[in-house]
Amino acid sequence: MAEINSLPLKERMKIPRTPMPELDAEVRSHNFDEVNRGLVAADALTEATRCIACAKPGCVVDCPVGVKIKEVVALIYAGDYLAAAAKLREDNALPAVTGRVCPQENQCEGGCVLGKKGAPVAIGNLERFVADFERESGMLGLPSIAAATGKSVAIVGSGPAGLSAAGDLVQKGHRVRVFEALHELGGVLIYGIPEFRLPKAIVKTEVDNLRRMGVEFETNVVVGKSVTIDELMRNERYDAVFVATGAGLPRFLGIPGEHLNGVYSANEFLTRVNLMRAWQTPAYDEPVYDCRDRDVIVVGGGNTAMDAVRTARRLGARSATLVYRRSEAEMPARIEEVKHARQEGIEFRMLTNPIEFIGDQNGWLTGARCMKMELGEPDRSGRRSPVEIQGSEYLLPCNVAIIGVGTTANPLIQSTTPDLNTTSRNYIVADPATTRTSKRGVFAGGDIVTGGATVILAMGAGRKAAASIHDFLTAGEW
Ligand SMILES: Cc1cc2nc3c(=O)[nH]c(=O)nc-3n(C[C@H](O)[C@H](O)[C@H](O)COP(=O)(O)OP(=O)(O)OC[C@H]3O[C@@H](n4cnc5c(N)ncnc54)[C@H](O)[C@@H]3O)c2cc1C
Ligand code: SF4
């Protein structure tokens, strides 16, 4: 066990939270370099010193996958970063990713006792520090792989749910093949979250590590079109299938003018920029509507909307405005993203809802007719619902509008797998404890079951599925 923190408790509690070094806001709003630069070892030690090693650590209770944070922090304090990384990986297969994108304020850091009177331990920043140290040291260890079982598992989708299931299953000796519809692996981590928040090289390293462990990958395979689940099981003789296809079908506002040129879904916009590298124009010739010297609005208040508006700013938008129908207090985006967006000059137009897009005679967007809103009674989500203020209508001029109001399930697999039970909104029904679906041998987890959630929850579902699939393959019982 790591050395116990010897500084008196009172002294530790006086140490201020170590800030994360960031790129200058003006500089970074014109490039795609990563905003957060990472802690250096001396800062990580100072931050680890703040932890008071609680007898009942709230940080662990509030981590969705129960990472042993107290032990990880103690190992950082002792300077054994590789052991800290190994401890992290016992519960979290992608720590360099979650250290960057988890909403820690609602999870581990939300449960940290220091947060009651001051600032919680910067757990996410420490997690990122050890994961980066491990990767940059070239010591990213390969776990031991059990003897081959002769069983094989097909995983559909290479997002965090699919990748974490693949890692666990291959370690148990099963043959694992991941089928991915797109030409790159990583799901939202690659096509959704921009480079300035999560460099693609980090995701690629994790995927390469899985490859070295023996996971097979096949890209450009749309399961449900190129091959069905039944064909995978019957013709290709997979013993089990894990469906981890996410919830990537964009929702629209359903208002007049949404068909106009210049109106995008945030998913399409981010995919063109991130996955197809429109941000590296002219080296990559991917068409994306030119944001340079244009007025861009993004509708929504979650991480997707925030990523889209910050991306538009980096692509040279004259103005980049976030339009959200509730107030900032109700926005689901991570607090850090909101702070960064403000620093980068994003305009926030809260309590505003577009009701129509207006175009010119050639079908190009020129503006959005908006209503001002006020907050009414709480709705089913517990947030106060937005109510239109009669007579408050006004025109917001814009040349590009990006809709980031959420996504839903793509029904392709469900419609080609008749005995798979789904909800009325096309999500797959799976037992929360086992991830088993209504179809023998088929498991499902991540956003395709829960609806759009978080990376860590998708990873947790992937790990649960792997354990459950292993039980099924070894016991043979359904
Ligand atoms: C822009 C954006 C920003 C986000 N930011 C954050 C954040 O900061 N923090 C956070 O915790 N969460 C964030 N999220 C949410 C998080 O990324 C998701 O909850 C998570 O990625 C879900 O993982 P998944 O494995 O279930 O699905 P996904 O990551 O969606 O992966 C599913 C994969 O399956 C593939 N697929 C789909 N259908 C098929 C098919 N028929 N055949 C083969 N392959 C198929 C898809 O191409 C995709 O690669 C964000 C989401 C978006 C869109
Ligand atoms: S709750 Fe905070 S102080 Fe307590 S063990 Fe966890 S990180 Fe340390």
* Mean pLDDT along residues 257-277: 92
Read off the tokens for 246.
């996410």
Q: For 296, phi and psi rounded to 5 degrees?
A: -110, 130
Of all protein residues, whose CA lies closest to atom 1 belonging to ligand 2? Answer: 112
- Please give the distance, rounded to the nearest whole angstrom, from the Cα atom of residue 113 to the centre of ligand 2: 6
> Quick one: pLDDT at residue 289?
65
Read off the tokens for 188.
């939202």
Ligand positioned closest to the Cα atom of 13: 2
> Quick one: pLDDT at residue 6?
74
Using an 8 Å Cβ cutoff, are 38 and 133 in contact? no
> Quick one: pLDDT at residue 144?
87
Residue type, 469: I
* Greatest C-alpha distance within the chain: 73
Q: Which stretches of 62-127 are assigned E, i.e. beta strand?
A: none
> Residue 1 pLDDT more than 80?
no
> Residue 287 pLDDT more than 70?
no
- Cα–Cα distance between 475 and 478 in angstroms, integer? 9
- Cα–Cα distance between 173 and 260 in angstroms, integer? 52
- Please give the distance, rounded to the nearest whole angstrom, from the Cα atom of residue 245 to the centre of ligand 1: 8
Question: Is the CB–ligand 1 distance for residue 188 below 6 Å?
Answer: yes
> Quick one: pLDDT at residue 288?
67
> Quick one: pLDDT at residue 23?
97
Which DSSP letter does residue 138 get?
T
Q: What is the pTM of this model?
A: 0.94
pLDDT tens-digit series, residues 151-163: 999 999 999 999 9
Tell which residue, 446, 22, 21, 4, has the closest CA to residue 242. Answer: 446
> Quick one: pLDDT at residue 9?
86
Tell which residue, 202, 86, 183, 191, has the closest CA to residue 144. Answer: 86
- Cα–Cα distance between 274 and 291 in angstroms, integer? 15
pLDDT tens-digit series, residues 368-406: 999 999 999 888 878 888 999 999 999 999 999 999 999
> Quick one: pLDDT at residue 299?
98
Q: For 47, phi and psi rounded to 5 degrees?
A: -65, -40
pLDDT tens-digit series, residues 314-324: 999 999 999 99
- Cα–Cα distance between 81 and 133 in angstroms, integer? 7
Question: Is the CB–ligand 1 distance for residue 463 below 6 Å?
Answer: no
Question: Is the CB–ligand 1 distance for residue 180 below 6 Å?
Answer: yes
- Cα dihedral 23/29/35/37 (nearest 10): -20
290 pLDDT band, cuts 50/70/90, is confident
- Please give the distance, rounded to the nearest whole angstrom, from the Cα atom of residue 193 to the centre of ligand 1: 9
Mutate which of 243, 414, 455, 456 for ligand 1? The one with the most ligand atoms within 8 Å of its CB, which is 455
> Quick one: pLDDT at residue 8?
85
Read off the tokens for 306.
């925030």
More confident residue, 4 or 75: 75
> Quick one: pLDDT at residue 4?
58
> Quick one: pLDDT at residue 2?
47
Using an 8 Å Cβ cutoff, are 208 and 369 in contact? no
Residue type, 476: G
Tell which residue, 393, 328, 334, 392, has the closest CA to residue 358. Answer: 393
Read off the tokens for 81.
């970063």
Question: Is the CB–ligand 2 distance for residue 59 below 6 Å?
Answer: yes
Ligand positioned closest to the Cα atom of 62: 2
Average pLDDT of the chain, as a whole number: 94
Strands 249-250 and 407-408: antiparallel
> Residue 80 pLDDT more than 90?
yes
286 pLDDT band, cuts 50/70/90, is low
- Cα–Cα distance between 5 and 397 in angstroms, integer? 57
Of all protein residues, whose CA lies closest to atom 2 belonging to ligand 2? Answer: 112
> Residue 170 pLDDT more than 60?
yes
HSE-up of residue 45 (Cα within 13 Å, Cβ side): 8
* Mean pLDDT along residues 38-63: 96
**Cα–Cα distances in angstroms (integers) from residue 60 to residues 18, 55, 68, 75, 83, in the given order:** 21, 11, 6, 16, 18
> Quick one: pLDDT at residue 243?
98
Burial of 467 (0-12, 13-18, 19+ CB in 10 A): middle
> Residue 280 pLDDT more than 90?
no
pLDDT tens-digit series, residues 89-141: 888 889 999 999 999 999 999 999 999 989 999 999 999 999 999 999 987 76
- Cα–Cα distance between 112 and 384 in angstroms, integer? 27
Residue type, 274: N
Mutate which of 12, 13, 50, 70 for ligand 2? The one with the most ligand atoms within 8 Å of its CB, which is 70
Using an 8 Å Cβ cutoff, are 248 and 162 in contact? no
Read off the tokens for 33.
């370099």
Among 236-240, 248-252, 338-342, 381-385, the range scoring the smallest mean pLDDT is 381-385
**In this prediction, what percent of the chain has a pLDDT beyond 70?**
98
ω before 378 within 30° of 0 (cis)?
A: no
* Mean pLDDT along residues 171-188: 97
> Residue 165 pLDDT more than 80?
yes
Ligand positioned closest to the Cα atom of 118: 2
pLDDT tens-digit series, residues 189-202: 999 999 999 999 99
pLDDT tens-digit series, residues 440-462: 999 999 999 999 999 999 999 99
Which DSSP letter does residue 273 get?
I
Q: Which ligand 2 atom minimizes the distance to the CA of 120?
A: 2
